[in-house]
Chains A and B, each alone.
Chain A
Amino acid sequence: MTVNARNPLSTLKSHLAAACASAALLLAAGGAEAGDLNALIWCDHSDPALLQPFEEANNVKVNVKEFEGTGAGLAIVDQSQPGDWDVMVIDSIDVPRGVEKGLFEPLPEDKLPFADLFPEVKMDKSTVVDGKRYGITEKFGYNTIGYNKTKVDPADMQSLASLTGDKYKGKIAIYDYYLPVIGMAALAIGKKTAELTEADLPALKEELLKMKANAKLVGEVTASQTALATGEVDILVGGGEWVTAGLAKENPALDFSIPKEGAVLWSQSLAMFKDSKNKDMALKFIQYIMSPEGQARLATSACYWGMPANKTAALSDEQKKILRFDEQPGFLARAQAYPAPNADLDKKMQDMWTEMLQAQ
């Protein structure tokens, strides 16, 4: 039973939530200063090697709060006061969700290096709403097949069918994030990731259960990376340069493929909050991240590597080789976007994912 009208229960709940949030903010406010920049970020932005040059150049402290997943990020914003946050990292496909909530400020295109971005990752369909641009893609990569090339036949990694065959049973880990892996399951059964509907769920579930039956574990970033690096598994479903590139020096046997069925393109954007009290500094931060220097530092962040959206990123030749920079046009041509379900389908996909995790 669901009643949508605002009722006394909701009012009381919101007051109590506000009281609790205020108490938490009071405790957390110790280190924050008026001139600080407050950023809701993914872990790659918390690398001091990325933030320090900006802080020193602008005499500003960047306070960061890490989150995983757009839902969690928007929940943090919901529980904050307007103006608490200045910038946010968000999945490019989810920029419209922030716009719908009235959170974001249009970005000045003339002050940002849009001409230097890889055209395929501008993601205008999601970063531009009603003719205004609310997000700029800063980093991208692929959820595809990560593997140890000394343990598996690289030729097998050119097809998603290898993930559900018997040859590598028990040698596979699955990255524990439902959207990209569901996207890979869609590619495996010949569906376009952008066109998934509720009617596709039974076939997707069947494919996911086949993958699970072959998998030794389903792990978040650290667990799946560790499993691949330590030899616990030889293949990571959903892996890509974001897993293998950062480990390239220690373990050059790790690599990734873009199979013939394609791969899922992940792309993260930066957005500025409409209620930011420090919009000039927020814009400077976005400009810094999008600059050749900022892009190189972000691409090789200690948390995870990924392709810089800006083609002019100041990467070394070795870094470019690890990221397979020169192969990007071919990769991008075969990549498909993250599935972008509406709220209802999203819940059903997550429930399907939970079922897959619980399957024995």
Chain B
Amino acid sequence: MTFTGHNGRALPWALVTPALAWTLLFFVLPFIAMGLSSLTAHEGGGFTLANYSQLFTDPSYWRAMVNSLEVTAIVTVISILLAYPFAWVLAEMVPERWQRLALMLAVLPFWTSYVVRSYSWLLVLAQNGVINRTLTGIGLIAEPLQLANTRFATVTGFVHFFVMLLTLTIFANLKQLSPSYRKAAADLGAGPVRTFLHVVLPLTLPGIMVGAFLTFVLCIGDYITPQILDGNNELVMPQLVMMQIGRRGDFPLASALSIILMAVVTVAYLACARWLKIERA
């Protein structure tokens, strides 16, 4: 078999055709349908931009976008701050023979159902949950704190999940880092802190950014965690999208809100693009 000549050009196309067809059928076509739907009036059909303008003219809709961005930013920053030291300890301080076990323990949360995990957090944070009982039991507080059904609960549920995701991407990056970089920095007189800030951290930025981008995308598009843990005390964009579908069957407005959400993700991608290359620059 040869890859040159007419047949050689056909083979790669034949191999990628199933993937292209899949993408066309399950992404491009639905996306175009969603785009067209977003430009259609819910009542009576016909072209309209009202579905897009609603987000910017209705304060409660705009609030959902602000809530989404705030929650996502908080979750991403906290997850990075927790995951980096964790990944560092795993990569640098845990003996190699224990690293596999440690990683397996780190990804244990992935093994449970997303819904079950969120409900578990609800029980932990509830008025009669483990945390409140402990705090009241040791006399630290007199009345239970409202932890469940708050933004704090949503952020906690998200962080629990995404710390693991970020740990994996940062750990992989740290393991790829040749010890020669640090030795060279030390030879040139840099102390551990300076070596970390000027050598290790910049070289592990791709791992951080890949994890942060995945966290951003998954978090801003998530419906289940805020729905279960926030108690509907504030809405985020995916909840607003679901309300349009579930309550009114208003697919045009839901489509417009979804496309705006995709636009936000695209902006986030462009902001991170230089770090999201497969090969390190």
Interface hit among A117-125, A312-320, A344-352:
A344-352
Q: Which of B45, B58, B64 contacts A4 (CB 8 A)?
A: B45
Q: Tell which of A5, A13, A78 has the most Cβ of chain B within 10 Å.
A: A13
- Cβ-defined contact, A350 with B247, below 8 A: yes
Question: What's the count of A-B pairs with C-beta under 8 Å?
Answer: 135
Q: Given A9-B36, A13-B37, A346-B248, does the pair A354, B60 have CB atoms closer than 8 Å?
A: yes
Q: How large is the interface on A (under 10, 10 to 19, 20 to 34, 35 or more residues)?
A: 35 or more
Q: Mark B32-69, 1 if CB is under 8 A from A, else 0.
A: 11001101110111111110000000111101100000
Q: Are B36 and A216 in contact (CB under 8 A)?
A: no
| Stretch of A32-40, A67-75, A136-144, A194-202 on the interface side | A67-75
| Interface magnitude class on chain B | 35 or more
B46 touches A2 (CB 8 A): yes
**B221 CB-CB contact with A under 8 Å:** no
Task: Determine if A20 and B126 form an interchain contact, defined as CB atoms under 8 angstroms apart.
Answer: no
Q: Report chain A residues within 8 Å CB of B228.
A: 223
The CA of A231 and the CA of B234, in the complex, are separated in Å by: 22
**Would B46 and A3 count as touching, CB distance under 8 A?**
yes
Contact with A along B207-242 (1 / 0, CB 8 A): 000000000000000000001100111110000100
Is B248 in contact with A71, judged by CB distance below 8 angstroms? yes
Pick the contact of A232: B61, B126, B234 (CB < 8 A): B126
Q: Are B245 and A72 in contact (CB under 8 A)?
A: yes
Min distance, Cβ A76 to any Cβ of chain B, angstroms:
8
Bound-state CA distance A170–B145 (Å) is 11
Cα–Cα, bound, A215→B83 (Å): 35
Given contacts A230-B126, A354-B60, whether A3 and B47 have CB atoms under 8 Å apart is yes
Known: A71-B250, A230-B126, A350-B243. A357 touches B36 (CB 8 A): no
Q: Are B243 and A9 in contact (CB under 8 A)?
A: no
Q: Does A355 contact B (CB under 8 A)?
A: yes
A331-360 vs B, Cβ < 8 Å mask (1 yes, 0 no): 000000000000100110011001101101
A223 to B231, CA, bound (A): 8
Chain A positions within 8 Å of B59 at CB level: 355, 358
B146 within 8 A of A: yes
B136 at the interface (CB under 8 A from A): no
Contact present for A9 and B39 (CB under 8 Å): yes
Whether B251 sits at the interface, judged by CB under 8 Å, is yes
Contact with A along B105-128 (1 / 0, CB 8 A): 000000000000001001100111
For residue A232, which residues in chain B have a CB less than 8 angstroms away from its CB? 126-128, 148-149
Pair A216/B47 contact, Cβ less than 8 Å: no
Q: Report the minimal beta-carbon distance from A190 to chain B, rounded to whole angstroms.
A: 27
Q: Which chain B residues (6-24) contact chain A, with CB distance < 8 Å?
A: none
Is the beta-carbon distance between B33 and A13 smaller than 8 angstroms? yes
Interface residues of A (CB under 8 A from B): 1-7, 9-10, 12-13, 16-17, 19-20, 23, 68-69, 71-75, 78, 170, 173, 176, 178, 216-220, 223, 226-227, 230-232, 343, 346-347, 350-351, 354-355, 357-358, 360
- Report the 7 A-B pairs with minimum CB-CB distance, sorted nearest first: A217-B231, A75-B249, A71-B249, A13-B36, A218-B232, A16-B33, A217-B149
